[in-house]
């Protein structure tokens, strides 16, 4: 144990004495969160929606048809009570629910106005905004082209309600992504570089000749990065909570546990990368191009996955960050528990085990 | 101690000693390529054993197998009385190793490096402290104990690396081209340290391609294309190959 602690201590020396490492470790998360706090709008197609038609008359049917035939929306389910709306959103498949008030057509004929409620899942603020605007657009063009053109002075009043994120803050969207990115960077990239460095400098050989077994060597190298990654995650969460007033609806401990799981995944990925790279340069390039870019572009962090071409969607399903982003969003914004995100959790855990097994195999081969 | 005086003493001293390394029919294949083609040799306790050969002759492969960094394809290899297949952990406790790259951490200080390596060999704090004192004293490096290794000249790093490699009093120390890239004076100093270690009973197994260094060894083995082509005292080899110096011996074998 004493040997092991000495090893970990040495690893911290490496980190604290290299100002570039320190900058990446502690400057990056803060800069990223602040930069990504203010970002971009995206296009949408084939958004799954639910419709709760309390009236079920000719006009509501016509409007429903207009919406579903627009190409932007797919009717995923018909809902029958207010309670079902909440449940439908929690499942995370539908992005929007349209509610027609009772006696819609009758009211329209009698009073000249009727209202339709548009409820959107705003945990993804950009998409929610676009989705509701498209819906409003379709309804008002129906109103103008079909009703007014026929001489009816009718008015349909859309009421928009944003669920989970009333103020439509874009930063809510970017906190989980930034967290995934930073943890990948710190855990996977920094570990792979630091292990590759020992190989490059020749110190790895000396360690392997020593009575230390390979496993403690790897664990000893990884622990400092695990600690620092975890601190980073906490800093990001704190920053988004205090600076951007992002809510944490779910259980904080649960959130931190899931974060820890993701860190394990990233560390095992870092170990895997280090087993195939002989120098720091190689480790860095692999991490950059095989990890950072796909994590940014394909995980749903910046571009919505449902808009990607099919091939990219498949690729995105092997991006660990994709699952972590879903997990974090669900916990922080919707307050979901393990019941909702067990699948994603399982995927991340499975990937961790896979990476570890492959690394151990590779490591053994190297010794042969 | 003067070299030549040392040599005479040492050779008569070790002649009847026990074997500390025994290698029989060692084969290491990479695909179809024989990096080590049926090597057989012994190294006596306390001996300075030179392991020579051109680049790619298979020296590093052999030294990696002896030090437990790689497994042989076949053959029997005993190091410090233990089998490298079955008793790897015991072998590791009894050997020291210094590679061509000096293997110290550039961003740690002299003292931290010593502490760290002492630590991974499981030495007690007290032992590490005392030994560090005496070691720094002997190296005349007390003033620089808190300097980062990266700031020191190559020759100094090399001396420290060697001292670190024998810090835990191993039975054998493996030196893989320890003197690459340093000036003749430092090399001479370095060999003084090797003799000192040898006098203290540590067996030294050293690879090099400086032929003048081969003359300093008790016995020398010369490898070519995976095979040992000559193994004797430097004097014996010169006689056998009718050469005036090791340089000629080496050229006759390697050509």
* pLDDT at A274 > cutoff 80: yes
A20 in contact with chain B, both atoms CB, cutoff 8 A: no
Structure tokens at A113: 């106005």
Lowest-confidence segment of A110-114, A329-333, B14-18 by average pLDDT: B14-18
Q: For position B14, what pLDDT does the model report?
A: 56
Residue B99 has pLDDT above 50, yes or no: yes
User: In angstroms, rounded to a whole number, what is the distance separating the alpha carbons of residues B171 and B114?
Assistant: 19
pLDDT(B149) > 80: yes
**Percent of chain B predicted with pLDDT > 70:** 93
Whole-angstrom CA distances from A346 to A256, A298, A350, A352, B181 are 16, 20, 6, 10, 53
Shortest CA gap A3–chain B (Å): 5
Q: What is the pLDDT of residue A365?
A: 58
d(CA B35, CA B226): 5
Nearest CA in chain A to B105: A203
Binning pLDDT at 50, 70 and 90, where does residue A227 land? very high
Query: How many interchain CB pairs under 8 A, A with B?
Result: 76
Residue of B nearest to A4 (CA): B120
Q: Please provide residue B3's backbone torsions phi and psi, each rounded to the nearest 5 degrees.
A: -55, -55
DSSP string, B4-38: HHHHHHHHHHHTTPPEEEEEEEEEEEETTEEEEEE
The DSSP 8-state label assigned to residue B134 in this structure reads H
**Over chain A, what is the mean pLDDT?**
83
Cβ under 8 Å to A: B residues 22-41: none
- Which ipTM value was assigned to this complex? 0.83
- Contact yes or no for B107 and A212 at CB 8 A: no
The predicted pLDDT at position B160 comes to 92
Q: Rounded to a whole number, what is the distance in Å from the CA of B176 to chain A's nearest CA?
A: 11
Give the contacts of A283 (CB within 8 A, at least 6 positions apart): A189, A192, A193, A195, A196, A273, A274, A277
DSSP B98: E
Q: Which two tokens stand for residue B73?
A: 């394809």
A201/B106 Cβ within 8 A:
yes
Q: Using alpha carbons, select from A225, A188, A185 the residue that is nearest to residue A24.
A: A185
Q: Is B99 on the interface with A (CB under 8 A)?
A: yes
Q: Centre a 10 Å sphere on the Cβ of residue A110 and count the other Cβ atoms it contains.
A: 10
Separation of alpha carbons A89 and A76, rounded Å: 12
Of A13, A202, A368, the CB nearest to B108: A13
- For residue A203, the chain B residues in CB contact (below 8 A) are 101, 103-105
Which of A14, A203, A211 has the CB atom closest to B121's CB atom? A211
Only one residue has tokens 């810090």, namely B167
B121 vs A: CB within 8 A: yes
When mean pLDDT is compared across A22-26, A132-136, B56-60, B126-130, the lowest value belongs to A22-26
pLDDT at A350 over 90: yes
Q: A75: Cβ–Cβ under 8 A, 6 or more apart, which residues?
A: A49, A50, A51, A64, A67, A68
Whether the per-residue pLDDT at B109 is higher than 50: the answer is: yes
CA neighbor of A300 nearest in space, from A85, A92, A77, A74: A92
A88-92, A301-305, B32-36: least confident range:
A301-305
pLDDT band at A368, cuts 50/70/90? very low
Q: What is the pLDDT of residues B184-223, one digit of tens each?
A: 888 888 999 999 999 999 999 999 878 888 888 999 999 8
Judge contact between A191 and A223, C-beta under 8 A.
Answer: no
Strand-pair category, A96-100 with A113-121: antiparallel
- The band of B1, judged by pLDDT with boundaries at 50, 70 and 90, is very low
Report pLDDT for A362.
80
Q: In chain A, what are the domains?
A: 2-36+169-367 (no CATH), 47-163 (3.40.1710.10)
Is the CB of residue A240 less than 8 Å from the CB of residue A333? no
CB atoms within 10 A of CB B85: 14
DSSP for residue B109: B
Q: Do B105 and A201 touch (CB under 8 A)?
A: yes
Residue B168: what pLDDT?
92
- CB burial readout B206-228, b (16+ within 10 A) else e: bbbbbbebbbbbbbbbbbbebeb
Q: How confident is the model at residue A86 (pLDDT cuts 50, 70, 90)?
A: confident
Determine the average pLDDT of the residues in A302-316: 80
Specify the range with the lowest mean pLDDT, choosing from A2-11, A157-166, B169-178: A157-166
Interface contact A45, partner B, CB < 8 A:
no
Please compute the mean of the pLDDT values over residues A110-124 and round it to a whole number.
83
Between A128-142, A184-198, A320-334, B232-246, the lowest mean confidence (pLDDT) is in A128-142
Q: How far apart are CA A259 and CA A265, in angstroms?
A: 10
* CA–CA separation, B111 and B119 (whole Å): 12
Distance of alpha carbon A340 from alpha carbon A92, whole angstroms: 9
* pLDDT digit string, tens, across residues A276-290: 888 888 998 898 888
Q: How confident is the model at residue B101 (pLDDT cuts 50, 70, 90)?
A: confident
b or e along A276-310 (b: 16 or more beta carbons within 10 Å of the residue's beta carbon)? ebeebebbbebbeeebeebbbbbbbbbbbbebbee
Distance between CA atoms of A158 and A162, rounded to whole angstroms? 13
Q: Which residue has the tokens 């090099």?
A: B208
CB-nearest partner of B99 from A18, A202, A213:
A202
Mean pLDDT of A149-177: 71
In this prediction, residue A40 carries a pLDDT of: 44
Tell which phi-psi region holds residue B249, choosing left (phi > 0), alpha (psi between -120 and 50) or beta: alpha
Q: Is B70 on the interface with A (CB under 8 A)?
A: yes
Q: How far is A261 from chain B (nearest CA, A)?
A: 29
- For testing contact with chain B, the best of A1, A10, A18 (most B CBs within 10 A): A10
Closest-CA distance, A286 to chain B, in angstroms, reads 24
Q: How far is B33 from chain A (nearest CA, A)?
A: 15
pLDDT for A253 equals 93
Residues 6+ apart with CB under 8 A from A93: A48, A76
Lowest-pLDDT range, A42-46, B161-165, B189-193? A42-46
Please determine, for residue B12, whether its predicted confidence score (pLDDT) is greater than 70.
no
H/E stretch holding A78 reads strand A73-78
Would you state the pLDDT for residue A215? 83
Assess contact for B114 and B182: CB atoms under 8 A. Answer: no
Q: What pLDDT sits at residue A133?
A: 82
Least confident of A21-35, A344-358, B79-93: A21-35
Mean pLDDT of B35-60: 89
Q: What is the DSSP letter of B2?
A: -
Over pLDDT 90: what percentage of chain A?
14
Q: Nearest CB to A209: which of B97, B104, B107? A: B97
Min mean pLDDT across A160-174, A325-339, B3-17, B200-214 is at B3-17
Average pLDDT over residues A210-232: 88
Give the per-residue SS3 of A322-353: HHHHHHHHHHHHHCCCHHHHHHHHHHHHHHHH
């Amino acid at each position: 144990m004493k040997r092991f602690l000495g090893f970990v201590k040495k690893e911290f020396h490496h980190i604290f004495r290299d100002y570039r490492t320190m900058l990446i470790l502690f400057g990056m998360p803060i800069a990223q969160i602040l930069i990504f706090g203010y970002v971009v709008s995206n296009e949408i197609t084939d958004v799954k929606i639910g419709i709760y038609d309390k009236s079920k008359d000719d006009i509501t049917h016509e409007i429903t048809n207009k919406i579903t035939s627009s190409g932007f929306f797919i009717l995923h389910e018909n809902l029958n009570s207010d309670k079902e709306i909440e449940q439908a959103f929690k499942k995370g498949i539908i992005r929007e629910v349209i509610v027609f008030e009772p006696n819609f057509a009758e009211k329209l004929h009698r009073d000249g106005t009727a209202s339709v409620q548009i409820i959107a899942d705003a945990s993804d603020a950009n998409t929610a905004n676009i989705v509701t605007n498209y819906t409003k657009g379709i309804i008002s063009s129906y109103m103008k082209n079909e009703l007014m053109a026929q001489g009816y002075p009718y008015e349909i009043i859309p009421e928009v309600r944003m669920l989970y994120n009333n103020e439509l803050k874009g930063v809510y969207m970017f906190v989980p992504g930034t967290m995934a990115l930073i943890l990948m960077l710190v855990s996977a990239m920094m570990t792979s570089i630091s292990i590759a460095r020992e190989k490059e400098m020749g110190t790895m050989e000396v360690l392997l000749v020593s009575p230390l077994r390979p496993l403690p060597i790897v664990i000893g190298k990884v622990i400092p990065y695990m600690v620092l990654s975890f601190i980073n995650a906490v800093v990001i969460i704190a920053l988004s909570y205090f600076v951007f007033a992002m809510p944490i609806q779910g259980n904080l401990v649960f959130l931190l546990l899931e974060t820890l799981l993701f860190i394990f995944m990233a560390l095992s990925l870092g170990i895997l990368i280090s087993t195939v790279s002989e120098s720091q340069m190689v480790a860095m390039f692999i991490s950059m191009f095989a990890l950072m870019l796909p994590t940014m572009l394909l995980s749903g962090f910046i571009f919505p996955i449902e808009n990607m071409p099919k091939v990219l969607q498949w690729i995105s399903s092997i991006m660990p960050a994709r699952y972590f982003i879903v997990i974090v969003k669900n916990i922080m914004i919707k307050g979901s528990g393990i019941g909702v995100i067990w699948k994603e959790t399982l995927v991340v855990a499975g990937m961790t085990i896979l990476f570890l097994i492959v690394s151990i195999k590779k490591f053994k081969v190297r010794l042969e | 101690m003067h070299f030549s005086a040392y040599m005479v003493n040492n050779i008569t001293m070790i002649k009847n000693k026990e074997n500390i390394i025994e290698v029989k029919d060692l084969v290491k294949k990479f695909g179809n390529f024989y990096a080590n083609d049926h090597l057989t040799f012994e190294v006596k306790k306390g001996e300075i054993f030179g392991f020579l050969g051109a680049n790619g002759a298979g020296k590093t492969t052999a030294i990696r197998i002896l030090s437990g960094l790689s497994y042989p394809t076949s053959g029997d290899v005993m190091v410090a009385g233990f089998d490298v297949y079955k008793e790897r952990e015991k072998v590791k406790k009894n050997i020291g190793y210094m590679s061509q790259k000096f293997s110290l951490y550039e961003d740690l200080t002299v003292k931290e490096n010593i502490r760290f390596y002492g630590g991974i060999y499981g030495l007690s704090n007290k032992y590490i402290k005392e030994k560090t004192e005496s070691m720094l004293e002997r190296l005349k490096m007390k003033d620089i104990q808190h300097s980062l290794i990266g700031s020191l000249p190559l020759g100094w790093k090399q001396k420290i690396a060697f001292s670190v490699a024998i810090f835990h009093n191993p039975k054998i120390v493996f030196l893989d081209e320890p003197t690459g890239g340093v000036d003749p004076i430092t090399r001479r100093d370095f060999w003084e340290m090797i003799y000192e270690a040898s006098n203290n009973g540590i067996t030294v197994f050293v690879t090099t391609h400086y032929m003048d260094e081969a003359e300093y060894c008790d016995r020398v083995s010369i490898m070519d294309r995976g095979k040992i082509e000559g193994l004797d005292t430097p004097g014996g080899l010169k006689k056998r190959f009718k050469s005036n110096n090791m340089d000629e011996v080496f050229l006759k074998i390697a050509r």
